[in-house]
């Protein structure tokens, strides 16, 4: 069972784009300031950074800003990459941190209590009145819950990693994730069958 779960997590990480390999020659050239090497890194990982930021923020312009900021920071911080983890995992962490910093700056993380985090959301029946797809359902979650769903379910973060990232306990992210997935499942169940076919 554990091996199967590990395989699923690795599959999710690879499919997100951050699981791609970066050859040592490109990495070393980038560390020496070679802009062609930076361009190659951007070509390989830029879309993955953008997709992660977009899924969490829900705003294309903000996601583009995140990518620009991350790759500008990369120029100065690449020398600090020790290679303890794969490059893509390190870059994903930078992207997730930058994205969460944006949400904190917008004060969209005001409520840390899982019991009240979902109180202002529309009921599933209200969601069902409109044609809705999986993306818009995800955007209906509070920002913190959406970030936890994306990072855990799409990017393969563990609850320990989420605890470190959010400065909370593992039980906190487990609770928020469980409530968010229930909310998404309830809303999806209430959707008209035609909407589900086009989602």
Cα distances (angstroms) measured from residue 16 to each of 49, 104, 110, 180: 9, 24, 28, 21
pTM above 0.95, yes or no: no
User: Is 102:92 a contact under the CB 8 Å cutoff?
Assistant: no
What stretches of the chain show up as alpha helix (H) in DSSP?
A: 2-15, 24-31, 35-57, 60-77, 87-105, 124-128, 134-139, 143-149, 159-166, 170-190, 193-198
pLDDT given at position 47: 96
The phi, psi pair for 81, rounded to 5°, reads: -75, 115
User: Is 145:116 a contact under the CB 8 Å cutoff?
Assistant: no
pLDDT given at position 185: 85
pLDDT given at position 95: 96
Contacts of 71 (CB under 8 A, 6+ apart): 38, 41, 42, 46, 49
User: How confident is the model over 45-92, as pLDDT tens digits?
Assistant: 999 999 999 999 988 999 999 999 999 999 889 888 887 889 999 999
Cβ neighbour number for residue 66 with a 10 Å cutoff: 25
Tokens of 113: 């209590």
Contacts of 59 (CB under 8 A, 6+ apart): none
pLDDT given at position 13: 42
The SS3 call for residue 104 is helix
Q: What angle do CA 171, 177, 182 make, to 5 degrees?
A: 130
- The domains located in the chain, with CATH, are 1-108 (1.10.1740.10), 111-199 (1.10.10.10)
Cα distances (angstroms) measured from residue 196 to each of 77, 127, 132, 140, 191: 44, 13, 8, 16, 7
User: Is 151:96 a contact under the CB 8 Å cutoff?
Assistant: yes
pLDDT given at position 58: 87
Full pLDDT tens readout for the chain, 199 residues: 344 444 444 444 444 689 998 999 999 999 999 999 999 999 999 999 999 999 999 889 999 999 999 999 998 898 888 878 899 999 999 999 999 988 877 755 555 556 555 555 444 444 444 445 677 788 888 888 899 999 999 888 999 999 898 888 999 999 999 999 998 888 777 765 554 444 4
What gap in Å lies between CA 58 and CA 70, rounded to an integer?
A: 18
């Amino acid at each position: 069972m554990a091996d199967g779960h590990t395989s699923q997590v690795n599959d999710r990480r690879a499919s997100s784009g951050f699981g791609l390999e970066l050859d040592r020659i490109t990495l070393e050239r980038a560390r020496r300031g070679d802009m062609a090497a930076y361009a190659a890194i951007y070509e390989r990982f830029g879309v993955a950074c953008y997709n992660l930021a977009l899924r969490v923020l829900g705003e294309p312009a903000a996601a583009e800003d995140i990518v620009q900021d991350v790759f500008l920071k990369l120029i100065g911080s690449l020398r600090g990459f020790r290679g303890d983890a794969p490059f893509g995992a390190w870059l994903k962490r930078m992207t997730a941190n930058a994205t969460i910093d944006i949400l904190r700056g917008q004060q969209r993380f005001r409520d840390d209590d899982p019991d009240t985090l979902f109180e202002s959301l529309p009921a599933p029946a209200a969601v069902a009145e409109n044609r809705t797809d999986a993306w818009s359902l995800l955007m209906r979650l509070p920002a913190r819950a959406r970030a936890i769903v994306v990072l855990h379910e799409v990017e393969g973060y563990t609850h320990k990693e989420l605890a470190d990232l959010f400065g909370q306990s593992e039980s906190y992210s487990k609770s928020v994730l469980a409530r968010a997935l229930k909310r998404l499942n309830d809303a999806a169940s209430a959707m008209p069958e035609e909407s589900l076919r086009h989602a």
